[in-house]
Structure 1
Amino acid sequence: MILGSFLSILLPLAAGWRRYRQLPPSLQNIFWFCVGAFLLDACSRILWLLSIPNLFFGHISTLVEFLFLTNAFRLTFGNFISSRLMYVVMAIFSLLAIANSTFLQDFQHNNSYIKILESAILILLS
Structure 2
Amino acid sequence: AVISQRLIPRIGGGRVAAYEMLIGTSAISNVIREGKVRQLRNLIATGQKDGMMVMEQSLAKLIARGVISYDDAVAASVYPDEVAGLATQTQFDPDLPEPAHFVVGASAPGANSGTGV
> In which range does the TM-score fall when normalised by the shorter chain?
under 0.3
Q: Flag the structure with higher strand content.
A: 2
Q: Flag the structure with higher helix content.
A: 1
TM-score by length of 2: 0.27
TM-score by length of 1: 0.26
